[in-house]
Structure 1
Amino acid sequence: MVVKMDMRKREKTKSMEKERLQVMDLSGMSLDSLPKPSLDLATICKLDLSNNNLQDIPESLTARLLNLEVLDVRSNQLKSLPNSIGCLSKLKVLNVSGNFIQILPKTIENCRALEELNANFNKLTMLPDTIGFELINLKKLSVNSNKLMFLPSSTSHLTSLKVLDARLNCLRALPEDLENLINLETLNVSQNFQYLETLPYSIGLLLSLVELDVSYNKIKTLPESISCLKKLQKLSVEGNPLTCPPMEVVEQGLHVVMEYMHHKINTSHETPKKKRWWIGKMVKCGTFNKEMGSGNKRPEHVGYNMLKQQNINGLASPGFMGMLSPLRIFSPRRSFG
């Protein structure tokens, strides 16, 4: 009975604390600086400072926002964020888009409850190196329209991440080890125009991926591992100088692209180091059976439907020639979606 009473008291206390928490909306007021708050900062759960002319946020302000869960400072004149942002241990949503921020403070890694980070339309040239090791609850990372040349390798450790939007940057490459992004559903690295030329083989290990947009880059060859993305529903590759798969295959839609890449992965006679490394990862994750690489027996892959099993000699097989028949190649363009 005593235990039950204690639990009821705790629940009642939590309920009362939630009722005391307040939302402060100072958006769209053309503020150049923040007015002295008229209430206890520890009672604020959401602070909206968007669409003002703020050039900085005082260190002392964020240090006292102990119960803040949502901070919106988009569309201001901010060039940096205060280091004390690391004090916001309950922060779940941070929107700093539409500012002039060049670098995020390393202390942001202390915001371990963070689930959504929106830093679009800034001047970011890099992200904190260890951001992926600390923000383990992050579900959405939006950093489009910046000047990022690379994503830190620790990005591949954001195991809760569902959306990664890094379009309109200067990305030269993506992290090699993507296999830990087990919940990633949307990956958009489009419009890195003159810079992004390749995709890592490990992209085939993103087994929750539903949408992949790599359009308007300089990609000539898609990795064969893409054929393992059994949940993929939308693939955007337009605006690339693609040679593999050829454009006549691309124009026939996602299903034909997947068949083409599936054929390529199963008929390749060369096994370069990179591919051996990738196949080992796929075996470890259970995507291939363990007969891969032993003898000439073709592996059965659970990540996509197998084509009819038959001997294939290059592109002359009946199944593959059917796939690239004139009727299919010159059929009207179909959507990838």
Structure 2
Amino acid sequence: MADIWPEVATAKEENRRELNLHGSEISERIEKRGFDKHVFDLVGLNYLDVRKTCLAELSVSVSKLVNLNTLILHNNRLTCLPETVGDLKKLKLLDVSSNKIESFPKLDGLTELQSLNASGNQLSEFPDVSCLTNLHILNLSHNELQSLPDGIGDDKLEYLAQIMADNNAITQVPADLANLVRLHTLDLSFNKITELPPELSDCQKLKEFNVKGNKFKDRKLTKLVEQSHGKSVLNFLGVQLQKVRESEMKEKGGKDKKKKKKKGVSKDEVEELAKDLIDVLHFPVETGITVQVKPAVISVRPYFVSCIVRNLNFKKSVNMFKRFITLQTKLHDTICNKRHTATIATHDLKLVKPVLVYDARFPHDIKVVPLFKSAEVTAATLVAQLRKEADDLRKEKKRNTYSGIHKYLDLLKDKVQYPCLLDGDGHVISFPPITNSDKTKISKETTDILVEVTSTSSLDVCKKVADELLREMLLMGVGTPQEDVTKGDDTKEDDTVVYSREGDAGAIQKLVVEQVRVIDHEGTLKVVYPSRTDLPLDIYEVNRE
């Protein structure tokens, strides 16, 4: 077939479900002969990724890809999208970020869409989104929007959890955002907003709220925004909302006072609004966990941070343990950048024998029992097995990309030695970024875990990843409610006052985090985590005593 690109021909011949077209070579082809129209004959595709090219126009024929659920057009030169994008009824993820798009088509047909990223374009307006009833994530940051899209506060958007609209020219925030029952993240920083609707304080699940870089009329609000985190701003809005409701009740002649009291939030109640707590235990000299970093690993994967999390309850709900495992996967895909930036590992503390050593060794010298396996293998054998599995699976699924653990194998490419964490008996308990050892695997019965974060980027990256993991664990509620946490071996309950709050969170949650020290081969302290500069105040309080 004339003029068909080899990648497209292969995808057609093997009936593949995925097609990736990236980089300078693809861009040169587009510049010389245009985009290969045969792509749109691959009606079996469910994943199409065209990025970092000079593509300036998407053909209306894209509507022929009726099975597409993922369309990524990141970092091209698109100035618009065809109306026929709305015909992709099965589409769940649409990423058109970092283009030059000035207008956006109607979205009425995209009722299955879960994630929409149109950041980094030149949009001055955006179509009504009330039809996107399955939308979870909306990213419109770094555009020229003067307002949020119509329908953004429609109560039909019951799954919408993240709205990013920073770095625009937005002047007003709709009060009906309070209708979004799952709204967790709202970033409206660096816009032209002068007032905030007090109704935002009714967003019970709003944890990440950023409005910095705006010029508010209220000086107190401006000061709070500059000096505090989002929770303080929401508390301030809660006080304002209470005053509004009190005023409304006075106008009604003082009727329904009981109802007003139930709905309203007093100033004192706002100040003590439920806040979760992370209790940091200082490194116990006699019993604390120490990790020694050997010189060999410095040139391989040098950065290491660790801590212990105690008093966990994975039996709190049927899915709690599964949610925790899913959380690690999510963090690996997001903040860890597909494990390219950092890798997280968790171990059952009672199965870990100190003193721990972080080292790098030749692949044939590393012996590990991989997660969910019973036999010990060398790292060389394990990597070879995984590569074969990956190739066989790719051929079977007719894909040109790896999935699961196999997609991380390239992180070891060209490495003469591999990193590993060894326990006091010399057994490998972690082989980052590939796998943990089955010997220290966590389970529903686990109550104390050892967390490790490794990176090739920086120590700061490790700390940020660890911060995020602990924050998400706190939100998940895997810790123990404060009234149930005991101090040490004493049976006396913690005397922390517990406030009730609405929603699924219930009582205030508490994570008990114990410091772990990392030293070099000479015994000099490299890092202790969490230190006083870690765990920045956000949605929780930190007790460092």
TM-score calculated relative to the size of structure 2: 0.44
Matching residue of 2:116: 141
Q: Contact 1:42 / 1:65 at 8 angstroms: preserved in 2?
A: no
- Judged with a 3 Å threshold, the aligned counterparts in structure 2 of structure 1 residues 50 and 242 are, in CA distance, closer, same or farther, namely same
Task: Tell me which of 84, 100, 124 is aligned to 1:107.
Answer: 84
Q: What 5-or-longer segments of structure 2 have no aligned partner?
A: 274-535, 540-545
Structure 1 residues 248 and 41: alpha-carbon distance in aligned structure 2, compared to 1, 3 A threshold: same
Alignment equivalent of 1:124, drawn from 101, 116, 133: 101
Q: Which runs of 5+ in 1 are unaligned?
A: 1-31, 277-291, 309-316, 324-333
Which residue pairs with 2:422 in the alignment? Answer: none
The residue that corresponds to 2:492 in the other structure is none
Q: Name the CA shift for 1:185/1:39 in 2 (closer, same or farther; >3 Å).
A: closer
- Cα gap change, 1:95/1:295 in structure 2, threshold over 3 Å: closer, same or farther? same
8 A Cα contact 1:160 1:183, kept in partner: yes
| Greater shift in the superposed pair: 243-252 or 47-56 | 243-252
> Structure 1 residues 41, 102: CA separation in 2 closer, same or farther (over 3 Å shift)?
farther
Distance 1:58 1:270 in 2: 64
Residue 58 of structure 2 corresponds to residue 86 of structure 1: no
Alignment-mate amino acid for residue 40 of structure 1: K
One-letter amino acid matched to 2:223: E
Q: Which amino acid aligns with 2:49?
A: D
Q: 2:17 aligns with which of 22, 32, 45?
A: 45
**Residue 132 of structure 2 is aligned to residue 158 of structure 1:** yes
Deviation at 1:58, TM superposition (A): 3.4
Matched, 1:190 2:166: yes
Shift of 1:264: 1.1
SS at match of 2:5: coil
CA deviation string 1:281-315 (max 9, x = no partner): xxxxxxxxxxx9994631644xxxx534xxxxxxx
Aligned twin of 1:307: 265
1:231 aligns with 2:205: yes
1:96 matched to 2:73? The reply is yes
Q: Please report how far the alpha carbon of residue 252 of structure 1 lies from its aligned counterpart in structure 2 after TM superposition.
A: 3.5
Is 1:242 matched with 2:216? yes
For residues 39 and 48 of structure 1, what CA distance do their matches in structure 2 show?
10
Q: 1:62 to 1:320 in 2, by over 3 A?
A: closer
Deviation digits for residues 103-132 of structure 1 (CA, Å, limit 9, x no counterpart): 111111111111110101111111112x1x
Report the Cα offset of residue 57 of structure 1.
2.5
Q: Rate the CA distance shift 1:38–1:68 in 2: closer, same or farther, 3 A.
A: closer
Partner of 2:333: none
- Which protein has the bigger strand share? 2
Higher relative contact order (CA 8 A, sep 6+): 2
Farther off after superposition, 68-77 or 237-246: 237-246
Tell me if structure 1 keeps the 8 A contact 2:11–2:19: no
Task: Specify whether residues 248 and 92 from structure 1 end up closer, same or farther in structure 2 by C-alpha distance, changes over 3 A only.
Answer: same
**Cα 1:318–1:335 shift into 2, 3 Å:** closer
Residues 46 and 140 (structure 1), Cα distance of their counterparts in 2 relative to 1, 3 Å cut: same
Counterpart CA distance in 1 for 2:10 and 2:181 is 50
Q: Does the 8 Å CA contact 1:190/1:214 hold for their aligned counterparts?
A: yes
d(CA) in 2 for partners of 1:299, 1:220: 30
- Asked if the contact 1:42/1:64 (under 8 Å) is kept, the reply is no
The code of the aligned residue for 1:48 comes to N
Task: Describe how 1:186-335 pairs up with structure 2 within 5 A.
Answer: 186-192=162-168, 195-244=169-218, 246-250=221-225, 251-268=227-244, 295=255, 297=257, 298=260, 300-301=262-263, 307-308=265-266, 335=537
**Structural RMSD (CA):** 3.0
Other structure's SS at 1:73 match: strand
Rg comparison, structure with higher value: 2
The two structures have a TM-score, normalised by structure 1, of 0.69
CA distance in 2, matches of 1:248, 1:262: 16
- Residue 156 of structure 1 aligns to a residue whose secondary structure is coil
Alpha-carbon shift at residue 224 of structure 1 (Å): 1.2
1:34 is aligned to 5
Q: Matched residues in 1 for 2:44 and 2:175: separation?
A: 42
